[in-house]
Copies of this chain bind each other. A is one copy, B any other.
Amino acid sequence: MSSEDTLIHSDDPRHPANLICTLCKQFFYNNWCTGTGGGISIKDPETSHYYLAPSGVQKEQMRPEDLFVMDAQTLDYLRAPKLYKPSACTPLFVACYQKKDAGAIIHTHSQNAVVCSLIFGDEFRIANIEQIKAIPSGKVDPVTMKPIALSFFDTLRIPIIENMAHEDELIDDLHKTFIDYPNTCAVIVRRHGIFVWGPAIDKAKIFNEAIDYLMELAIKMHKLGIPPDCGIGEEKKHLAGP
């Protein structure tokens, strides 16, 4: 086995190369990554290498051999499959690693994200829903030093940035959201999809699932006439007839 191959071959289903393939398949069947849309990257907790799904591959068919591996310091490719090009998302993933201390980033073309980007202006907002508690507030408990989640009574706010012709052109607006929304773990790209990150792949996956659930619910609330961030007990005032 060449040294390149040792980077991606492992019997451990939790190895980043295996996890990316498993999750791409799961996301494909969740309709988040059809038509080769979307992408995913995981930082190996041991080596700190960035594992990256390539561009243009059918997500449900991805194999470890298809992945790129990048050195976290030099940003050189330690491994590049001959058949594929790096994902155009790569600079955005690197920005999340470097500026947000991410351990993994998930990018989907979720229709819930696209529809929310049509309904909402510069910010997705939903409040007073139990599932919000799956999302981190960005604050840390001063005693335990553990991250504090949003509470049921909080409002989840996710910035929405405008899409560009090429994904790497999103980098400036992404950096701007890091300043304007220092606590966010996600950015919606209008008419495009969503980027979600976390300190490790398990967390990123949980955040992505919870946010997609909340975006789906927000669309349903909008259709019922209920503002997704309306106060508890205000629903009936807004409820569209009959």
Q: Which residues from chain A sit less than 8 Å from chain B, CB to CB?
A: 31, 34-37, 58, 109, 111, 114-115, 118-119, 121, 128-131, 134, 151-153, 162-165, 189-193, 202, 205-207, 209-210, 212-213, 216-217, 220-227, 232, 235-236, 238-242
Question: A60 — nearest CB in chain B belongs to which residue?
Answer: B26
Inter-chain contacts of A226 with B (CB < 8 A): 118, 242
Whether A240 and B242, one on each chain, are in contact in the complex, defined by CB atoms closer than 8 angstroms, is yes
A58 contact set on B, CB distance < 8 A = 202, 205-206
- What is the count of identical protomers in the complex? 4
Contact B238 A37 (CB under 8 A): no
Q: How far is the CB of A173 from chain B (nearest CB, A)?
A: 14
Q: Residue A210 contacts which of B34, B221, B238 (CB distance < 8 angstroms)?
A: B34
Bound: A192/B131 CA distance, A = 7
CB distance A37 to B242 under 8 Å?
A: no
Across the interface, which residues of B come within 8 angstroms of A221, CB to CB?
115, 118
A134 cross-chain contacts in B, Cβ below 8 A: 35-37
- In Å, the complex CA distance between A34 and B242 comes to 29
Once the chains are docked, how many angstroms separate the CA of A172 from the CA of B160? 40
Query: Which of B152, B213, B220 sits near A164, CB closer than 8 Å?
Result: B152
| Sample of 12 A–B contacts (CB below 8 Å) | A31-B213, A34-B209, A34-B213, A35-B134, A37-B210, A115-B220, A118-B239, A129-B191, A152-B165, A190-B232, A225-B242, A238-B242
In the bound complex, residues from chain B placing their C-beta under 8 Å from that of A129 are 114, 191-192
For A61, the closest partner residue in chain B by CB is B202
Q: When the two chains form their complex, are residues A213 and B130 in contact, meaning their CB atoms are under 8 A apart? A: no
Question: Beyond A36-B210, A58-B206, A111-B213: 17 further Cβ-contacts under 8 Å?
Answer: A34-B212, A35-B207, A36-B206, A109-B131, A114-B130, A115-B221, A118-B235, A119-B239, A128-B163, A130-B191, A130-B192, A152-B163, A152-B164, A153-B165, A225-B242, A226-B242, A227-B242
Q: Which residues of B contact A153 (CB under 8 A)?
A: 165
- Residues in B whose Cβ lies below 8 Å from that of A31: 213
Q: Which residue of B lies closest to A164 (CB)?
A: B152
**Chain B residues whose C-beta falls within 8 Å of the C-beta of A193 in the assembled complex:** 130
